[in-house]
Amino acid sequence: MKELRAALEGVRTRRVMALGLDLILVSILSAALWFALFILSFGLSAVLLPPFFPFVAFFYNGLTVSGWRMATPGMRAMDLEMRTMDGRPVPFLNAAVHAVLFYVTWIFPPLLLASLITSDKRCLHDIFADVIVLRRSM
């Protein structure tokens, strides 16, 4: 129990800072992809293509969290990793669904307050995706 408590120390604050870093990276990737397609399509993509941010965020989170480092670059910078509740690495689908649920949670921000009442500091999107975010160094 002490190990879990140590692994959860400062997780909320670190997650917020990691989110900020990841939002910057996803925004840069989305803008670069949009600009590249804009150039390649001679401007036609500006009218025909939807915003790239949701698609980039979906694959960004899915691929990085399900990868061997088990964290997005922002999470790695903040010394965090994501695992399933039984301690295994997170599969791509769980990681991607976690990202979708997180962005849906933005529609109802009070849902994020669930982490204040859960003993393991999990938000509702963590619970639904069956994952937990822990300190990497613990």
Give the tens place of pLDDT for each residue, 89-131.
999 999 999 998 988 888 888 888 888 888 888 999 999 999 9
pTM value is: 0.85
According to DSSP, residue 67 is labeled S
Q: What pLDDT digit, counting tens, does each position of 50-69 carry?
A: 778 888 999 999 999 999 98
Tokens of 30: 């989305």
Confidence band of 1 (pLDDT split at 50, 70, 90): low
Tell me the mean pLDDT in the region 38-60.
83
C-beta neighbour count of 96 within 10 angstroms: 21
In angstroms, rounded to a whole number, what is the distance separating the alpha carbons of residues 77 and 22? 10
pLDDT over 70 at 6, yes or no: yes
Tell me the mean pLDDT in the region 68-87.
93
Q: Please enumerate in sequence order all residues whose Cβ is within 8 A of that of 100, keeping only pairs 6 or more positions apart, or say none.
A: 58
Predicted pLDDT at 138: 62
